[in-house]
Amino acid sequence: MMKTGFEKAKRTGWQVERLLLVALLLHSAIALGQIQATKKLEPVPIRPFKMHVPDSVLNDLKRRLADAKWPDQLPGTTWEYGADIKKVRELADYWQNGYDWRAQEAKINQLDQFTTKIDGQQIYFIHQRSPRPGAIPLMLIHGWPGSILEFEKLVGPLTRPKDKNSPAFDVIIPSLPGFGYSGPTTARGWGPQRMATALVVLMDRLGYSKYGVQGGDWGSAIAQDMAYQAPTHVIGLHLNLIYVPPPNQEAVAKMSDAERKRYSYFDREESSFFFLQASEPQTLAYALTDSAVGWLAWMIGKFQLLTDNNGDFLTAVDRDTFLTDVTLYWVTGTIGSAMRIYRENRLTIEEIVPTPHLETPVGYADFPKEVAVPPFSWITQTYNIVQKTCMPKGGHFAALEQPDLLVADIRKFFAKLDQK
């Protein structure tokens, strides 16, 4: 049945209004971060770190996978109601019988890892220095449901570029508080603004007075908060996701069909998980922390939706890399605490705060299958965009899906800044 123009307008308006709430929550987090002052804390030692998960934890994981109680699925369906049971069974079997955490652990342990305490919380991070003098310090920040593993393939090319004319970087990759070995958090208030403050402190503790920051998902919001909090230290932001609310209703009315489709995609397809994790992450944590298959299915659903794939997300993301990300949350006991970033962000925002114009130079990598992409004209009203690249392929997990494209764009952006 055809929709009348009025019915279409009502439906579209509801979608934009709901998505607007998501954008405002994230964007206001950035604005509030600008208001908060960076805390100077007492010097704390930085200690070398190596991953080693006890055998008992890995054995327990395999037992839970073997003893899983499986739900039914409607005949003739695949992804229409959520994660397809065929794909979940396939990956659960491989996770139990074929996947090798120890091999992945050994690979990660080839990188230089450290921990330190900031604001009462252990912070884990990778700090890989370039052998080249004058390398640019660059922090790479993940989001949810990502981790430090997103950036593993970027470390070598960024720290040791083959082309002597390409810029080299000292790479710093923190696990956000509440994620991986930076968790679980044990106090309230670890939202994006507090995380940004902690990461500014980390860079200061490492001796970097000038540095760049790259991020997507929550990493984008936190990177922007860092620039607001430490404008004299952050020389540039490279972002592959920018949330911007509509400047006014007139701007919404002027959106093209293509712009409206990209901006409302997240609302149409998957905004439910955002609101669930922002309202009661603790309730969800009971199920996902107890059931390995439940946690696996939750992650499969997100990667299936958010990657640029041909119907199977494993065509966009390597199977072992995906399962290492899933396993890292499981073995560190941070499934629940990582989801709390959504709730903490919501609790922090008591009112919508207008975001001041960000003077820090921004490089924007626009991947075609990214979610909730606002019109570029809205972005330029708040951000000092000095480089925009429309990528030929890739989705929400840019560093995992298209590491070469992302590395090239990062190099181009910071080389441009270095020439000024």
pLDDT in tens, 143-185: 999 999 999 999 999 999 999 999 999 999 999 999 999 999 9
Q: What local confidence, expressed as pLDDT, does residue 420 receive?
A: 60
Contact (Cβ atoms closer than 8 angstroms) between residue 185 and residue 340: yes
**Residue 15 falls inside a structural domain:** no
Task: List pLDDT tens digits, range 190-223.
Answer: 999 999 999 999 999 999 999 999 999 999 999 9
Q: What local confidence, expressed as pLDDT, does residue 371 receive?
A: 85
Q: Which of 181, 228, 329, 342 is catalytic?
A: 342
**Structure letter (DSSP) for residue 52:** -
- The encoded tokens of residue 168 equal 């080299």
Catalytic annotation present for 27: no
Q: What local confidence, expressed as pLDDT, does residue 35 receive?
A: 41
Place of tokens 């929709």: 3
Q: Which of 84, 228, 396, 409 is catalytic?
A: 396
Residue 215, beta-bridge partner list: 141, 239
| CA 44-50-52 angle, 5° bins | 125
Task: List pLDDT tens digits, range 332-373.
Answer: 999 999 999 999 998 877 555 567 889 999 999 999 999 889
Q: What local confidence, expressed as pLDDT, does residue 244 receive?
A: 84
Amino acid letter, residue 111: L
Q: What local confidence, expressed as pLDDT, does residue 8 receive?
A: 38
- The encoded tokens of residue 102 equal 């120890």
Q: Which of 217, 225, 325, 366 is catalytic?
A: 217
Contact (Cβ atoms closer than 8 angstroms) between residue 168 and residue 136: yes
Place of tokens 């956000």: 176
Contact (Cβ atoms closer than 8 angstroms) between residue 299 and residue 309: no
Q: How many domains in the chain? A: 1
- The encoded tokens of residue 74 equal 């409607």
Amino acid letter, residue 387: Q
**Residue 16 falls inside a structural domain:** no
Compute the distance between CA of residue 129 and CA of residue 16 in angstroms, rounded to an integer.
44
User: pLDDT-based confidence at 33, cuts 50/70/90?
Assistant: low
Contact (Cβ atoms closer than 8 angstroms) between residue 358 and residue 207: no
User: pLDDT-based confidence at 226, cuts 50/70/90?
Assistant: very high
Note down the domain range covering 29. Answer: 21-418
CB atoms near residue 96 (< 10 Å): 17
Residue 117 host element (H or E): strand 113-118
User: pLDDT-based confidence at 265, cuts 50/70/90?
Assistant: low
Catalytic annotation present for 52: no
**How would you list the strands of the sheet with 358-366, edge to edge?**
47-49, 113-118, 121-128, 169-174, 136-141, 211-215, 234-239, 358-366, 383-390
**Residue 251 falls inside a structural domain:** yes
Rounded mean pLDDT of the chain? 90
Tell how far CA 190 is from the center of its chain: 16
**Residue 397 falls inside a structural domain:** yes
CATH code assigned at 348: 3.40.50.1820
Compute the distance between CA of residue 194 and CA of residue 401 in angstroms, rounded to an integer.
29
Q: How does strand 47-49 pair with strand 136-141?
A: unpaired
Catalytic annotation present for 383: no
Average pLDDT over residues 390-405: 98
Contact (Cβ atoms closer than 8 angstroms) between residue 233 and residue 209: yes
Q: What local confidence, expressed as pLDDT, does residue 268 receive?
A: 59
Q: Residue 242's closest CA among 214, 271, 268, 210? A: 214
**Residue 217 falls inside a structural domain:** yes
**Residue 134 falls inside a structural domain:** yes
Distances in whole angstroms, Cα of residue 390 to Cα of each of 191, 215, 249, 301, 366:
30, 17, 27, 26, 5
Q: Residue 214's closest CA among 7, 417, 10? A: 417
Q: Residue 208's closest CA among 256, 150, 182, 169? A: 169
Q: Any idea which of 143-147, 227-231, 256-260 has the lowest mean pLDDT?
A: 256-260
**Residue 5 falls inside a structural domain:** no
Percent of the chain with pLDDT over 90: 78
**Residue 7 falls inside a structural domain:** no
User: pLDDT-based confidence at 3, cuts 50/70/90?
Assistant: very low
Q: What local confidence, expressed as pLDDT, does residue 29 receive?
A: 56
Q: Any idea which of 90-99, 302-311, 411-420 has the lowest mean pLDDT?
A: 411-420
